[in-house]
Amino acid sequence: MALSRTAKVIVDDVDSRVQYSQQWFVDNTGKTNNLGNFGPTFGNTLHGVNTSASLKFDFIGTSITLFGTTDIRQHRGSADPTCECFIDGVSIGATNPFRFAENNWPLCGNETLADGAHTLTVNVNSRGQTFWVDYLAFTPSPIVSTANEIYQIQDTDPGIQYDSNWQSFATVTQLADQKGSSVSFSFFGSQLSWFGIIPGEPSLSQSPSLATYTIDGNLPATPFAIRSLPRGSSTLHNERLFQTPVLLNGLHTISVTYEGERGLTPLTLDYLLIQNGTGIPGAPTTLTASTTTTPTSSTLPPSTTPSSLGLASNNERRTNVAAIVGGLLGVFALLIICAILYRYFKNREKPSDTKSNSNKIQPFVQPPPMIQRQPTPDSRSLGSNRSPDDPFRTEAQDTVQDTIIVRQPQPRRNQRPVSRPVGERPRQVRQSMPPPNSPATAGPSSASDPTLAGSRLDEDVSYYGGYQTWAQNKALEAEASKGLNRDSYM
């Protein structure tokens, strides 16, 4: 279900979230329960101090009020005890001293805080008279989960559905005095307590009356009595009219019907207390100051005493928010990394060559040679050794040919060195390398070389990877050797 922003969380004085200085003590005797007409203390406990002391409470919300028992006496013309309250280090003062003793009295507070984390600090100054703290009520922030708390729902909460017989009374409560008047409310929790007032006006409380309630439509309805007051009595506030049994913690709907008549004590609603409520934020509504008096603690049995573990600490809340933010940032970083890796591997891919290179001729397997241009013999001097179907030669190549200088292999045993005159500058002559699996190209004859015995030399075989035949190469070597003066042909 959704709770409006008028709902408040009740924190009892014994809750561990309230931090006291060393001078405080606990009273659970209920000795002040009969003071005044504002009902007994909440949870039947109080924290007291009769010297200078302080307390602190951290919360996340938009309003906070400190309630206690006021019992002031005059000491040399001034009130004793006194207190001063601070929110986030800024003084908000305290309520004016009240001359009568009362429980459930607002000591200080602020209803218009900015939504966020705040710290309430209370400094007490006592010269012997006890200062009593009962509980705190704060409006939680809608962005913070406050499960398993005690929630106070005001009578003006939009979630409470009244029929047309209900009316506002004395600006502090809703009242029904016609038989059959009904109201319903859905809540999430394990127990609900209904608080109202007993009017002191003689015309409204001459005799007791009766009302009933049902939970989740289960019959029969449960009756409860509404007492009357003696004539001339003051109106009683924070009166618990009924409390449901402990329910399975979850979503429930309660319906209440007035069974009395006019002239009997009417049915009134000041506020509801929901045990183990879940504060799921509802639609934002305008914050209004509470016009009701404060709840009494004695209305809850020991099993419904406010738990000190109900509200998560501020650190836990901040941890939950940090965990969520950290998780979102982690997912965002992971997406960025995946995008970078995708682009990286995509850029490394090179388009594959769809054309096959298996038919291309690779004339040289050695490192790129040096190239120089040198006149070549006329094609007519090559005779029939020139292949007419050689696709790698043109007419321009018949006149000028690129001469390729390559690393010379060691001469074979049947090759004879060529000598030249001393002092003559050597000329660059292109040498040939024997093709793989073919006989050597140098030597006087094939018959003199044992490696050539029994084999026939094919002069038209492709040489240098197909650029020229073996015969063409020999003719080029012979033409290039004409300019050399050889000493011998040994």
Cβ atoms 152, 112 nearer than 8 A: no
- Consecutive H or E run containing 84: strand 82-87
For the segment 433-442, the average pLDDT, to the nearest whole number, is 44
- Consecutive H or E run containing 317: helix 314-348
pLDDT tens-digit map of 374-397: 444 444 444 444 444 444 444 444
Identify the residue with better confidence: 343 or 109: 109
Q: For domain 151-278, which CATH number applies: 2.40.340.10, 1.10.3210.10, 3.40.50.200, 2.60.120.260?
A: 2.60.120.260
For residue 71, the model assigns a pLDDT of 93
Cα–Cα distance for residue pair 229/236, rounded to 1 Å = 9
Read off the tokens for 432.
Answer: 């040939």
For residue 263, the model assigns a pLDDT of 85
Read off the tokens for 464.
Answer: 């240098």
Identify the residue with better confidence: 379 or 482: 482
How many other CB atoms are there within 10 angstroms of residue 70's CB atom? 24
Mean pLDDT rounded to a whole number for the chain: 75
Tell whether the model's pLDDT for residue 285 goes beyond 50: no
pLDDT tens-digit map of 28-47: 999 999 999 999 999 999 99
Tell whether the model's pLDDT for residue 107 goes beyond 60: yes
Cα–Cα distance for residue pair 191/304, rounded to 1 Å = 8
For the segment 214-227, the average pLDDT, to the nearest whole number, is 97
3 state DSSP class of 371: strand
How many other CB atoms are there within 10 angstroms of residue 105's CB atom? 22
Instruction: Using pLDDT thresholds of 50, 70 and 90, give the confidence band for residue 9.
Output: very high
From 313-317, 408-412, 424-428, the region with the lowest mean pLDDT? 313-317
User: Running DSSP on this structure, what letter comes out for residue 169?
Assistant: E
CATH number of 7-144: 2.60.120.260
State the burial class of residue 213 (Cβ atoms within 10 Å of its Cβ: 0-12, 13-18, 19+): buried
3 state DSSP class of 337: helix
Cβ atoms 4, 157 nearer than 8 A: yes
Cα–Cα distance for residue pair 309/134, rounded to 1 Å = 18
* CA 155 and chain centroid, separation: 37
Cβ atoms 435, 463 nearer than 8 A: yes
Cβ atoms 33, 220 nearer than 8 A: no
Distance in angstroms between the alpha carbons of the first and the last residue of the chain: 117
Cα–Cα distance for residue pair 292/294, rounded to 1 Å = 6
Cβ atoms 64, 88 nearer than 8 A: no
Instruction: Using pLDDT thresholds of 50, 70 and 90, give the confidence band for residue 102.
Output: very high
* Percentage helix, strand, coil for the chain under 3-state DSSP, each rounded to 5: 15, 35, 50
Cα–Cα distance for residue pair 401/409, rounded to 1 Å = 23
pLDDT > 70 in the chain, percent? 60
Q: What is the CA radius of gyration of the chain?
A: 54
Spatial neighbors of 222 by CB under 8 A, at least 6 apart, are 212, 213, 214, 242
For residue 477, the model assigns a pLDDT of 67
The residues facing 20 across adjacent strands are 55
Fill in the amino acid letter for 467.
Y
Tell whether the model's pLDDT for residue 49 goes beyond 90: yes
Cα–Cα distance for residue pair 285/334, rounded to 1 Å = 40
Fill in the amino acid letter for 486.
R
For residue 188, the model assigns a pLDDT of 94
Tell whether the model's pLDDT for residue 485 goes beyond 90: no
- Asked whether the bond before 220 is cis by omega within 30 degrees of 0, the reply is yes
Asked whether this chain's domains 7-144 and 151-278 adopt the same fold, the reply is yes
Q: For the chain, which residues make up each domain, given as ranges?
A: 7-144, 151-278
From 187-191, 273-277, 457-461, the region with the lowest mean pLDDT? 457-461
Fill in the amino acid letter for 60.
I
CA distances from 18 to 51, 122, 135 (A): 19, 11, 9
